[in-house]
Structures are given as C-alpha cells and as structure tokens.
Amino acid sequence: MPEWLNNAVFYEIYPQSFKDTNADGIGDINGITEKLGYIKDLGCNAIWLNPCFKSPFGDAGYDVEDYYTVAPRYGTNEDLVRLFDEAHELGMHVILDLVPGHTAVTHEWFKQSMKAGRNEFTDRYVWTDGIWVHPDGMNCIRGISDRDGSCAVNFFSHQPALNYGFYKPDPDKKWQQSMDDEGPRATLEAMKDIMRFWLGLGCDGFRVDMAGSLVKNDEDGKGTIKLWQEVREFLDSEFPNAAMVSEWGEPDKSLTGGFHMDFLLHFGPSHYNDLFRCEEPYFSSRGKGDASAFVRKYIENYQKTERKGLICIPSGNHDMDRLARSLNPDEIKIAFAFLLSMPGAPFIYYGDEIGMRYVENLTSVEGGYGRTGSRSPMQWDGTTNAGFGSSAPEKLYIPIDKDKDRPTVEKQTADDASIYSEVRRLIGIRQSHKALQSCGEIEFIHAEENSYPLSYLRSSGDEKILVIINPSDKEQKFTCPYPVSTPIYSIGGNADSSNGVITVPPCFAGFYGGL
Ligand code: NOJ
Ligand code: CA
C-alpha cells in the first residue's frame, strides 16, 4: 500500500459544482486548483475527482466518450496536469475516476463496434449474435446498429458494457466470450493504457467505478477478482505508488483483487445506511437507531481483510442524499467524530464539511434524477451564486440552495462552533494520533443492538485511544475496561467513569488517551 494512504483524508470533488472560474455556470479544473488551499487548510491531503473526461453527459460524465481528453467545459489536459503539480507542491494527492465498465454510445470504440463488418472493436463490448438474442440478466441496447446483435448495458441504457468476458461462458451461447479470449484481453489492455497515460502525467491513482461488475456471469466475483489481480501486478511493476479505491462495497473481494481501499456504500451488504440515511439513523438524536448490524458486518470484513487494505467510510457522495437531509448540524458534528475516528481513509464529499443541504424538488440534470439535489454548487460566500461563479444564476449547471440561511464557507470558517470548525479540529486530531489513522487497529467495546453509545478502542503500537460516540439526546451508561480522564477531544461535555462503568452525556463524542 502506498505510504501516503496511512494518513490520507480524502475530499471528493464533483467538478461541475465546485468552482466556476470563467462564468459559464459550470465548475472547472482551474477552479479546483484555485481552491486547493481551502482543502488543505481543512486538513484534507487527497482529492478524488469525479469523471472529468469528454462525454455527452448523459450520466454526468460516467459515460465517457474519450478517456484521454479532459472535457472542454472543465478545461484542458494541461489544466489538469497543473492541478496535479500544484497539489503535489502542497503535499496533496489527486486520484481520478476510472470508468472501466462502460462507455458512452458516442465513444469511437462503440461506433466501430456497431458496424456490420468485423474490425478491431467488434468484440470490445458485450454483444449477442442476433438482434432478438437478449444478453440474459442484463438490459441492452438494440436497434441502433448495422450489426445484427444487441449490446448489454451496465447502468443507464446508453452505457454499453465493455467486454471483459464471462466467468463461465455458456457453450450454447457462442457470443459469450471467456476472459482469456482476444476481445476481452484487448479491452483490459486498453484500460491499462488509459491508466498508464494519466499516471504518467502525474495522477496519483484511481477511484474505480462499479469495479465489481466487469466480468459477466461472475456471481461470486471470482473472475473480476482475478482481473484486478492482474491490474495490481501491472501497477506494482510500473506505478507502485498509485492508489486504487474501488466502488464495490465488498472489501473481502475487492482487497483480494488488489485494491488498497474499498468503500462502504449505500448499496451492498454493509448496513452503512443504518447510520446516516434511514428512517431512524443511528446518528439522529432521537436515539432510536441501531448500529449493531453495521458493526457486525464491519468486524466480519475487518477480520477477513485485515492489513490487506482499507475499508473506507464516506460522509456521502454524488449518488447519495446529503447528510443534512436526515441529520441536523449538531448530529452531523457527531457523525464526523465517528467518520474521522474510524480506520481506513475517510472521504468527505464536498460541502458536507459545511453541512450543505440536499436541494429539494430539482429537475434532473444530466442523469442525476434523485441525486441532483446532492450535486448543487458549492457555497463559498455571500456574493453572486454563493461565490461559486459569476454567471447569470439561470446559467448555473444546477441551481443553488436558495435558502438565505444556507451554510457557506465564509460564515462557517469564522464560527468556532460550526460544522466546518468541528471537522477541521477532528482532522487535526486524527493527523496527530497514529492510533486514529488509516491503519490503526480497532476493537469494539460497546455496540449492542438498539443501544447507545457506540464505543471502540483504536490503537497503534503503544498508543491506545478510546472513542465514545453518543448521538442520542439521553445520558447513557456502559461497562468499559478502560477509565476515562481528560479527553483528547470532546464535544457535548465530558464522560465520567466509576467502578468500570462510564456515564456518557447526551449528544456527545469523546476521544480518550493515556490508557
Ligand atoms: C456509480 C457512479 O458513482 C454513478 O454516479 C454512476 O451513475 C454509475 N456508477 C454508473 O457509472
Ligand atoms: Ca466554468
């Protein structure tokens, strides 16, 4: 694992919504470069950039038309290289979003593969051998090609699936190729070339979109794991410092595949939603939530994957509701005390550090649908368009939160009691205690069913830190083999121990050392 991941705190940037420097209503690469100082000052030392490549933007850029070129609306390849360089000068790393599973229908590969005659790209996508032959289990594109076949899609119906083969091709379905066939091999080589290109220009790694879905009919992920192991070998030999994080949600599989990190997400078996986004989230002060299923699954993953890589818990992302849709500012602060004291590299979705809200009732933008409200422009200050850019408001890519009390960076950086100040403090504490960082161990002390608080011990070498998190608005007690004294960090008062029982104030989080 690259050294720098030990202490990485990531900041996810949705490029179209971060900072617009040329008043066209869309964020751009130069805007991100301009704001590197802000991200660094918050304490984040790494950035994940959502796709910024040429695209028809039917899925906000997750429909890539040209993997080698920055979308003109964001700037140029040179602008992106300057972003890498300036980030590196500040001691920060930048990872790009690799979308290996599908392309846009406008990608040259797909145009070629739609032709009736055989060519280099005929087998680049998962095509059946007749227009009425359905790629079982998958949706498909049909009726737009001269080629007599239908093409499997991965997500939206305009995202044709790249062909990495079938784990066990059905011998009666000649169109199903094996992973070792020429077409699938060429697809994988093409992906490696794309990685080579950007890593060669100074990018520090990739977040990989739908990483678990590449090989088809691969129920247990065995074929896809094998494929990523091959990528791991390639990276180890050519770019050993490149960091890889998968959108997979099953760390036991992805880390076996050679990823350094995997996300716990709103889909998959992680119970991540129980914490932040369900009817009674654990982090709501109502105190009706349950973190125990999450913890059980976490321990299971942690034991299966120990030391192979990191399990990463994001504050949110461009696919989920904003934290602020289900939690109030005080609850968000406690949620961050959890997020920033867990193992693995934390990922903060832009704007979550100021409690940006989900903007309700928006018309879908670029395939966002219900996700659009979590993708609104970053709110910097009290100037035009909240400082996002100086275009006419109606030209904005997505409308800004119209509430006059909307949070901004300007207000929150000036307020010691803001979410921003809490997040900055928490990152600072994490950065100065190895036990709290990515690779520190974790042992759960209290994580009972339907019960508060949540408590765990983080440790690294001789350093041990007891974390106590009580989002509920009631005092709680739990038995604990460790006493508490002066906290390294606390919000909401202080806990107290006597005779092996710790009494925890309501709406509280605290970290205790000296154990
Ligand atoms: C996951 C991405 O995060 C999401 O935004 C996208 O729509 C799908 N993958 C398809 O690429
Ligand atoms: Ca712009």
Q: Which residue from 50, 59, 364 has its CB within 8 A of the most atoms of ligand 1, so it is best to mutate?
A: 59
Helix H or strand E segment including 226: helix 222-238
State how far the Cα of 385 lies from the Cα of 23, in Å rounded to an integer: 11
Beta-bridge mates of residue 47: 11, 94
Counting ligand 1 atoms within 8 A of each CB, the residue from 210, 262, 369, 371 with the most, and so the one to mutate, is 210
Q: Is the CB of 59 under 6 A from ligand 1?
A: yes
Any ligand 1 atom below 6 A from CB of 62: yes
The token pair at 238 is 């050519």
* Cα within 13 Å of Cα(116), Cβ side: 3
Segment (H or E) for 38: helix 36-42
Find the length of the chain. Answer: 515
The residues that bridge with 441 in the sheet, in sequence order, are 459
pLDDT in tens, the chain (515 residues): 999 999 999 999 999 999 999 999 999 999 999 999 999 999 999 999 999 999 999 999 999 999 999 999 999 999 999 999 999 999 999 999 999 999 999 999 999 999 999 999 999 999 999 999 999 899 999 999 999 999 999 999 999 999 999 999 999 999 999 999 999 999 999 999 999 999 999 999 999 999 999 999 999 999 999 999 999 999 999 999 999 999 999 999 999 999 999 999 999 899 999 999 999 999 999 999 999 999 999 999 999 987 799 999 999 999 999 999 999 999 999 999 999 999 999 999 999 999 999 999 999 999 999 999 999 999 999 999 999 999 999 999 999 999 999 999 999 999 999 999 999 999 999 999 999 999 999 999 999 999 999 999 999 999 999 999 999 999 999 999 999 999 999 999 999 999 999 999 999 999 999 89
Centre of ligand 1 to C-alpha 209, Å, is: 6
Residue 244: in which H helix or E strand, if any? strand 243-246
Contact criterion met (CB below 8 Å) for 22 and 31: no
What is the pLDDT at residue 307? 79
Peptide bond into 453 cis (omega under 30): yes
Picking from 3, 85, 8, the residue whose alpha carbon sits closest to that of residue 48 is 8
Measure the CA dihedral 53/58/60/66, to 10°: -10
451: left (phi over 0), alpha (psi -120 to 50) or beta: beta
Pocket test for ligand 1, best of 209, 214, 245 (most atoms within 8 A of CB): 209
Beginning with the edge strand found earlier in the chain, give each strand of the sheet holding 347-349 in spatial order: 310-312, 261-263, 243-246, 205-208, 93-98, 46-49, 10-13, 347-349
Tell how far the Cα of 463 is from the centroid of ligand 1, in angstroms.
39
In this structure, the strands spanning 261-263 and 243-246 are parallel
Neighbours of 52 (CB within 10 A): 26
Closest residue by Cα to residue 175 from 143, 196, 150: 150
What are the tokens at 360? 């309700």
User: Which amino acid belongs to residue 147?
Assistant: R
pLDDT score recorded for residue 425: 98
Sequence-distant (6+) residues with CB within 8 A of 241 are 2, 3, 4, 204
Q: Is the CB of 422 under 6 A from ligand 1?
A: no
361: left (phi over 0), alpha (psi -120 to 50) or beta: left
The residue to which tokens 């790209």 are assigned: 121
Q: How far apart are CA 67 and CA 98, in angstroms?
A: 9
pTM of the model: 0.98
Give the amino acid at 22: N
Helices 419-431 & 329-339 angle (0-180, nearest 10): 10
HSE, CB side, 13 Å, CA atoms: give it for residue 314.
29
Confirm or reject: Cβ of 207 under 6 Å from ligand 1.
no
Strands 501-504 and 476-479: antiparallel
Count H helices and E strands in the chain, helices first: 12, 20
Q: The tokens of 468 are what? A: 């106590």
Classify the phi-psi angles of 430: left when phi > 0, otherwise alpha if psi is within -120 to 50, otherwise beta: alpha
| Cα dihedral sign, 244-61-45-351 | negative
Query: Rounded to the nearest 10 degrees, what angle do helices 182-200 and 222-238 cross at?
Result: 40
State residue 391 phi and psi, 5-degree precision. Answer: -70, 170
Half-sphere exposure of 67 (CA within 13 A, CB side): 20
CB under 8 A, 24+ apart: contacts of 495-504: 495/468, 501/477, 502/455, 502/468, 502/477, 502/478, 503/475, 503/476, 503/477, 504/452, 504/453, 504/468, 504/470, 504/475, 504/476, 504/477, 504/478
Q: Given the CA of residue 318, which atom of ligand 1 is nearest to it? A: 5
Distances (CA, A) of 102 to 122, 153, 393: 15, 7, 34
The reported pLDDT for the residue numbered 306 is: 74
Q: CB under 8 Å to 141, separation ≥6 — which residues? A: 105, 150, 151, 153, 157, 158, 160
155 lines ligand 1 (CB under 6 A): yes
What's the gap in Å between 398 CA and the centre of ligand 2?
13
